[in-house]
Amino acid sequence: MNTKLFIQALTKFLAGLLLVGVLLFVPAGTFAYWQAWLFIALLFVPMFIAGLVLMLRQPELLRKRLDAKEKQDAQKWVVALSGLMFLAMFVVAGLNHRFQWCLLPDWAVFVAAVLFLLGYALYAEVLRENVWLSRTIEVQEHQKVIDTGLYGIVRHPMYAATLLLFLAMPLVLASLWSFLIMLLYIPIIAKRIRNEEAVLEQGLEGYKEYKERVKYKVIPFIW
C-alpha cells in the first residue's frame, strides 16, 4: 500500500467530513437534524469504502481523483463557482432546518436517499469502466476513447451520475431552497463539457468519430 497516497486520501476524507458537518450543523444551530446525519452517512460511508477499494486495486485512479488542480484556465472559474454553489447549498439547508422555511416531507427525503445511492452506483460503474477518469480536464498518455458500457449510451456518464447525486443532495437535506441553488449545476457542467470536448477533440485520437456515434452528452434523448 502506498502510505503517502493513503495519508493524502484519509486527510482529504476527514477534512471533507468536518467541513460538511460545520456547514450543516452550525447554520442549523443544533445537532438534532436527522436529515443531515442521513446525508453524511449516505455520502461518506460509500466514499470511504470506494476509497479503500481504489487504494487496493487502482491506486493510480485514486491519485487522479484526488488531484483537483485544474490546468485549463476556463475550468478554474467552473471549479470556483461549483465551490460557491455547494457552500450556499449546505448553509441554506442548515438555515432552512433552523427556521423551518420549507421542509420537505419525510417520504421525499427517503426517495431522494434512494436516488442518491443510485447516483453513487452509476458513479462507481463509471470509475470501473474508465481508468483514465480524472478530476481535471486533460488528455493523458496512452489514453483511448471508451465507447462501451455507459459510454455507449452518453458521452459523459460521470456528469450524468453527479447530476443525479447533486440534485438529490438538497432533497435528502429536506431543503427545497437548496435544491433551487443546485440547479445552477446544470449550466456549470454545460460549460465544463464544452471545454472538455474541445480539449478531447484536439488531443484524443478518435474522439470526433465517437461524438458522431454517441449523440447524447449526459441524458439519453434529452441532452
Per-residue pLDDT tens digits for 34-58: 999 999 999 999 888 887 877 777 7
For the record, the C-alpha cell of 195 comes out as: 471545454
Q: Is the pLDDT of residue 70 over 80?
A: no
Q: Enter the CATH code of domain 3-213.
A: 1.20.120.1630
Under 8 Å between Cβ of 179 and 188: no
pLDDT value of position 69:
59
Domain boundaries, the chain: 3-213
Question: Confidence band (pLDDT; 50, 70, 90) for 139?
Answer: low
Question: Confidence band (pLDDT; 50, 70, 90) for 204?
Answer: confident
Phi-psi region of 156 (alpha: psi -120 to 50; beta: other; left: phi over 0): beta
Q: Is the pLDDT of residue 117 over 60?
A: yes
Q: Is the pLDDT of residue 68 over 70?
A: no
The top-scoring range by mean pLDDT among 9-23, 121-135, 143-157 is 9-23
